[in-house]
Amino acid sequence: MNMTDSAAKLYIVIPCYNETAVLAETVKHLLSVVDELTEENLVSGDSTILCVDDGSSDGTWELIRELCEANPRRVAGLRLAGNRGHQNALLAGLMFAKDKADCTISIDADLQDDTAVIREFVKEFQRGSDIVYGVRSDRTSDSFFKRFTAELFYRLMSLLGAKVIFNHADYRLMSHRALEALSEYREVNLFLRGIIPIIGFRYSIVPYARKAASRPTHYPFRKMLMLAMDGITSFSVRPIRLISLVGFLAFLITAGIGVWYLVIKIYGYTVPGWTSIVLLILGLGGLQLLSIGLIGEYIGKIYLETKARPRYFIAEKLEND
């Protein structure tokens, strides 16, 4: 519930995977941000930093335990039973905070996202926005390749009909009401950047500049590519329709070529045509394999959704109660 006459209880959710190098400093910094907001009466004094350990293989969970012991009632922790991926870890934190907070803010552990705009997030929430998106105002801190592929992804998603916020990742504020709505979505193949915009509640956008990475990314190109594939196949059937269109066009072209070769055979102008035949076989064969692969992606998602397996299990909780 949005609150204008009293400070809102805020949970800041941090998905963590092998974050021992940065997490202590991240929590320290976010606690100072919460202190400033508390002094301004923008958030309540019992606001909390929630760290979600996504099956880390280093000492991340032990560090989270130490941070909780050093900051009782201000830092909480969740440990997932195994590595379930960034989206599931983030969802676990949001669902844990859903019944405890008036609003939540999700942010990555490396603090590349500008924490100075958290104040604007909360103010937009107080003005009535259920969702506040942090949107990058520029991507100059990225390499050319990452900038090009990221912007291509957002434009491709829009072209295919998916409702996404351009240049928005997972830095956002969500109200309790928005989290309740999010909990109704049962997809196993999670793509929160596509799910949250279709919730439909009032939203606002806060632009910010992202800092350059201070460590090797935990989201290499392979994972980005898989996330993009999840997003496209989870929120649009246009690729399937495109296959139908391309298949129809290929049929017309091959039918025309067939008629042409029949005509020249009737008039006695038959030529060997080895190159054209090979090119046709290779082209159509490649198109068929690509089409089967794309259809297989959709069938695989249907398979996973029909199993309806749990998205994660929480192995341990460190609560500030």
Share of the chain above pLDDT 70, in %: 78
Q: How far apart are CA 237 and CA 287, in angstroms?
A: 18
Lowest average pLDDT, out of 58-67, 112-121, 123-132, 297-306, goes to 297-306
What the block records as the tokens of 67 is 């941070």
* Greatest mean pLDDT among 74-88, 146-160, 202-216, 283-297: 74-88
**Mean predicted confidence (pLDDT) in 191-205:** 91
Q: How far apart are CA 201 and CA 175, in angstroms?
A: 10
Taking the alpha carbons at both ends of the chain, their separation in whole angstroms is 21
What the block records as the tokens of 273 is 């045509």
Residue 163 pLDDT grade (very low, low, confident, very high; cuts 50, 70, 90): confident
Q: How far apart are CA 191 and CA 193, in angstroms?
A: 6
Q: How far apart are CA 105 and CA 33, in angstroms?
A: 12
- Asked if pLDDT for residue 43 goes beyond 80, the answer is yes
Q: Which of residues 148 and 106 earns the better pLDDT score? A: 106
User: In the prediction, which pLDDT does 216 show?
Assistant: 61
User: In the prediction, which pLDDT does 262 show?
Assistant: 65
Cα distances from 116 to residues 13, 134, 286, in angstroms, run: 16, 11, 50
Mean pLDDT (the chain, rounded): 83
Write the CB contacts of 127 (distance below 8 Å, at least 6 apart in sequence).
204
Q: How far apart are CA 128 and CA 149, in angstroms?
A: 34
Q: Which of residues 114 and 160 earns the better pLDDT score? A: 114
- 10-235+310-318 classified as CATH 3.10.450.50: no
Going from N- to C-terminal start, the domains of the chain cover 10-235+310-318, 238-307
| CB 26 within 8 Å of CB 65 | no
What the block records as the tokens of 240 is 């399937």
Q: How far apart are CA 182 and CA 202, in angstroms?
A: 14
| CB 172 within 8 Å of CB 244 | no
- Per-residue pLDDT tens over the stretch 140-155: 767 777 777 777 777 7
User: In the prediction, which pLDDT does 3 show?
Assistant: 44
**Mean predicted confidence (pLDDT) in 183-202:** 88
Q: How far apart are CA 43 and CA 105, in angstroms?
A: 12
User: In the prediction, which pLDDT does 1 show?
Assistant: 44
Residue 321 pLDDT grade (very low, low, confident, very high; cuts 50, 70, 90): low
- Asked if pLDDT for residue 179 goes beyond 60, the answer is yes
